[in-house]
Amino acid sequence: MSNKRIALYPGTFDPVTLGHIDIIKRACLLFDAVRVTVAINPSKDPMFSIEERLRLLRESVKEISNVEVDSFSGLVVDHARNTGAVAIIRGLRAVSDFEYEFQMALMNRKLAEDITTVFLMPHEKYTYLNSSIIRSLAQFNADVADFVPPVVAEALKDKSKE
């Protein structure tokens, strides 16, 4: 167990998209185990509760071995340490992601020299995809089937009826 190379993939996942799944699959090829972790951020006002986001993530990754899903509040590097992770996975879609991600990665390295942020690029068909676009599309009942796992498409339909 202690020799396992574990990577932590933190995010808001509100909701999980096929872009996130693409990153998870790539990370699984590089690491023995990937822990996808939903960040509990009280300053954000999410569409899906923590419990809903966990359920949607778990359903979406159930076919992929070596993936676990959990949630945390606090510093990502603390959660990485507590779970034995050696790396933090982040996705890079476009130059626009770079500045924020660069700042976070350097700050996390300052806090925990031994944990390395690894950036992965998704397939180009997912480079324009993010959770907030999905939430907007769903509000107007647009078809999101090409962008999210089926369980998420269902959950979005249910939300629009609420």
Q: In this complex, which beta carbon is closest to ligand ADP, that of residue 31 or of residue 126?
A: 126
Q: Closest distance between ligand ADP and the C-beta of residue 146, in Å?
A: 12
How far is Cα 89 from Cα 85, in angstroms, rounded to an integer?
A: 10
Q: Does 122 bind ligand ADP (CB under 6 A)?
A: yes
Site for ligand ADP in 7-36 (CB under 6 A): 11-13, 17, 19-20, 23
Give how many residues touch ligand ADP by CB under 6 A.
16
Instruction: Tell me if residue 93 is catalytic.
Output: yes
DSSP secondary structure letters along 50-107? HHHHHHHHHHHHTTSTTEEEEEE-S-HHHHHHHTTEEEEEEE--SHHHHHHHHHHHHH
Q: Locate 96 and state its tokens.
A: 């626009």
Active site residue 53: no
128 and 14 Cβ atoms separated by less than 8 Å: no
With residue 159 as reference, give the H or E element that holds it: helix 150-161
In one-letter notation, the amino acid at residue 17 is T
* Residue 23 or 33 with smaller CB distance to ligand ADP: 23
Residue 41's closest CA among 75, 83, 84?
75
Strands 85-91 and 116-120, bridge-based pairing: parallel
Binding map of ligand ADP across residues 53-92, x = CB under 6 A, - = no contact: -------------------------------------xx-
Q: Are 86 and 108 in contact (CB under 8 A)?
A: no
Among the listed residues 36, 88, 93, 115, the single contact to ligand ADP using CB under 6 A: 93
Q: Which is nearer to ligand ADP, 33 or 39 (CB)?
A: 39
Contact residues for ligand ADP (CB under 6 A)? Answer: 11-13, 17, 19-20, 23, 90-91, 93, 97, 122, 126, 129-131
- Which residues are the active-site residues? 20, 44, 93, 131
